[in-house]
Amino acid sequence: MPVPVMLKAALPSVPLLNQLPGIRKTGGDFSGLSRTSAPVTIEREHVERYAAVCGFPSKDTVPLPYPHLLAFSLQMGMMTDQAFPAPAIGTVHVENSITAHRPIEIGETVGVSASVAAARPHPKGKVFDFLTTITADGETVWEETSSYLRRGKGDESAPSGASFPEVAPSGVVWRLPADLGRTYAAISGDHNPIHLYALTAKALGFPRQIAHGMWTMARCVAALENRIPDAATVEVAFKRPVLLPGSVAFGSAPTGDGYAFSLTDPKSGAPHVVGRVTAG
């Protein structure tokens, strides 16, 4: 996320400044937004940097979650648009679902489009679903739904989100360095201050910096990479932030049509991420 975009995302959350014309978010009626980028050619150097930080092997096709990076600037462009009713900072990524219809090759040129519709009710506020579509030669090859919660007056009768099988840790513990957020930000473009330094994270209510949710998703997918078919769907719910530096315990278990997985606190067992991968 370039610095001007990061500032644009942060200003609506700053007291006093957030009341100025052009910065203030009204929270009023919102029917939706959409964005489309110029065609993007997948570059090997960028893919390999992503693969290295997320634990994927080097291949001639991109890791399953990688195309999220191609759409991130479009999502931020919509979230920081004056028409979008909520500030970007403080709008929490709670769920993510990706469907890969086929592998995307390095060197392939793809189209990238994203959209967000009006919010849907949630027990703790309202949720905005950002939809991303990646196309090649007119064919949809990859799709994603990124769901963001804006806390506020909720609807107790509304769905609270997807449910996933419980998965116990399998003895694998990953120790995460303090600079993981900065390393992933340099590749993904997501420079949200909650991920960068203890000081910037504390200013936004966290005890210290936290890992990106999409890194935790990618790291789990990487751990199952050799068991995921070319056409697959991965769904996750982000339960609790992962503090950096820190440790997380990974677990996975086969299901009837794929695998369930989790990231938990090694000491308390509290879940950070729960999810599943299914074929097709």
Work out the mean pLDDT of the chain and round it to a whole number: 91
Q: Where are the beta strands (DSSP E) in the chain?
A: 32-36, 40-41, 92-100, 109-117, 120-122, 125-136, 139-151, 172-176, 232-238, 246-255, 258-264, 271-279
Beta partners for residue 61, in sequence order = 105
Q: Where are the alpha helices (DSSP H) in 91-247?
A: 180-188, 198-202, 213-223
User: What token pair was written down for 215?
Assistant: 């890194």
Name the band, by pLDDT with cuts 50, 70 and 90, for residue 1: very low
Write down the pLDDT at residue 22.
Answer: 45
| pLDDT tens digit sequence for 93-138 | 999 999 999 999 999 999 999 999 999 999 999 999 999 999 999 9
Q: Which domains does the chain have, with CATH numbers?
A: 3-20+31-279 (3.10.129.10)
Q: What is the pLDDT of residues 221-279, one digit of tens each?
A: 999 999 999 999 999 999 999 999 999 999 999 998 999 999 999 999 999 999 999 99
The reported pLDDT for the residue numbered 2 is 52
Q: Is the pLDDT of residue 23 over 60?
A: no
Comparing C-alpha atoms, which of 109, 108, 133 is closest to residue 39? 109
Name the pTM for this structure. Answer: 0.90
**pLDDT single digits (tens) 152-195:** 998 898 888 889 988 999 999 999 999 999 999 999 999 999 99
Between CA 9 and CA 6 the distance in angstroms is 5
Residue 18 has pLDDT above 50, yes or no: no
